[in-house]
Amino acid sequence: MTKTLQAVIEQTTTQGNKAFVPYIMAGDGGLEKTKDTILYLQKSGATAIEIGIPFSDPVADGPTIQQAGLRALAQKVSLRKIIAFLTTIKHEVKIPLVIMTYLNPIIQYGIPKFISDIKEANIKGLIIPDMPFEESSIINDVLVPDDDIALIPLISLTSPQTRIEKILHESEGFVYAVTINGITGSGSAFSQDLQHHLKKLKSIAPIPVLAGFGISSHDHAVIVGENIDGVIVGSAIVEALHLNDFATIDAFFPQQTSI
């Protein structure tokens, strides 16, 4: 079964457009602001939205997203509160939402309950950056074939070819191609062989390939997305939202919109 997240991305690329997935930190500024942000990004033309969950030990996150997580935690939000909130607004959200969280909060939540609740919230994708592919059965064994939730794999620049092929064989939704060796952040530098890596990955991937980490501007997005299906932008979006700098966000979209 082709899951909704993959279908939406493929529909976007079939129309000659690149998929654009902004990342936001749930609860940064409060959950009501998170709702406003989701609806704003939806109206602006986001293909999907990645919803970050604040966590005290975010090993893959750079300073900007770490600070956003701390601001969200100061608002007393939690994974449970965020999922309950997303459930209340699901009928207003017409594009796929993808949750990005670390494994520890899911285990604390209870994996079967977590899967049941994000299904009720109409979540279409799940990214767990600190869960090795070899351990993904702890999530996949709870998902049933008809669940419309894609467990999205991450592939790094240093992944060996044999491992990449194994991951792609079981991938769904889209492939998250990590563009740098390190944590997230808009000041990161791309390696000279990035385009070769992305082009090769696209040539063998059975599902769409999106790249993320270190993309800080529309020009960056155009360059990185040239040979693949789209991009994910995190730190630049999170910082702009914190500063109410909607012009920076609008610049990522083909048509300018304002809140």
- Active site residue ranges: 50, 61
Answer whether 60's CB lies under 8 Å from 130's CB.
yes
